[in-house]
Amino acid sequence: MTWKKFSGEVIHSSILAEVEKAILRETENGFKLKVCIGTDSQVKGSYTDFATVIVLLREHHGGFMYISQEKTTQKMGIKERMLLEVQKSIETAYSICDLLDIYDVDLEVHADINTNPSFKSNKALNEAMGYILSMGFIFKAKPEAFASSTCADKMVH
């Protein structure tokens, strides 16, 4: 998986090393951090574009993010696509959660799934929530899921 900064600059070290460097830099500067991870996708003709983001929030001082994008030509229904988004977020969260525990940084996994039953994405809500919570992560859905519904969304549109 290739990770980039919001500026487009490619990260050549592992995302783990990059996040650790950011945590050390930000805590030395006196910021309390929280990490939010989310994935969004967009169907574009014959392929689906996925964007996963790791958002590092500085308490009361904005934040910054890392982005990984993938494309697939695999055909899937909306529920399958929502659950694949959640899976990508969980894989990312799982890859950095031990590091975040060491530095006592809170982690949330955001799902771009609407809590309103009249939206199509709602079909995946219970499974996605169960999946995320069973992995021991804090779960946020729309409208609180800004990592997926705002940050990752910008990368696939």
User: Model confidence over 5-14: pLDDT tens digits?
Assistant: 999 999 999 9
What pLDDT score was predicted for residue 148? 81
Nearest in space to 109 (alpha carbons), one of 69, 137, 68: 137
Q: In this structure, are residues 13 and 52 in contact, taking their beta carbons and an 8 Å threshold? A: no
CA dist., res. 47 & res. 157, Å (int):
13
Look at residue 156 and tell me whether its pLDDT is greater than 90: no
pLDDT band at 123 (very low <50, low <70, confident <90, very high): confident
- Helix, strand, or coil (residue 147): helix
Number of domains within the chain: 1
Whether 153 shows a pLDDT value over 90: the answer reads: no
Q: What is the pTM of this model?
A: 0.91
CA dihedral 124, 95, 107, 9 (to 10 degrees): -100
What CA–CA distance (Å, rounded) separates 67 from 54?
7
* 32-46, 109-123, 130-144: range with highest mean pLDDT: 32-46
**What average pLDDT does the structure give for the chain?**
92
What is the Cα–Cα distance from 101 to 91, expressed in whole angstroms? 16
| Inter-residue contact 85 to 50 (CB < 8 Å) | yes
- Cα(97)–Cα(106) distance, integer angstroms: 9
* The predicted structure's pLDDT at residue 141: 87
* Cβ burial 107-144 (10 Å sphere, 16+ → b, else e): bbbbbbbbeeeeeebbbbbeebbebbeeeebebbbbee
Q: What is the mean pLDDT of residues 125-141?
A: 90
Range of the domain at 104: 4-156
Phi, psi of 149 (to 5 degrees): -80, -15
Closest CA to 145 of 74, 77, 89: 89
Mean pLDDT within 92-96: 96
Q: Which CATH number covers residue 19?
A: 3.30.420
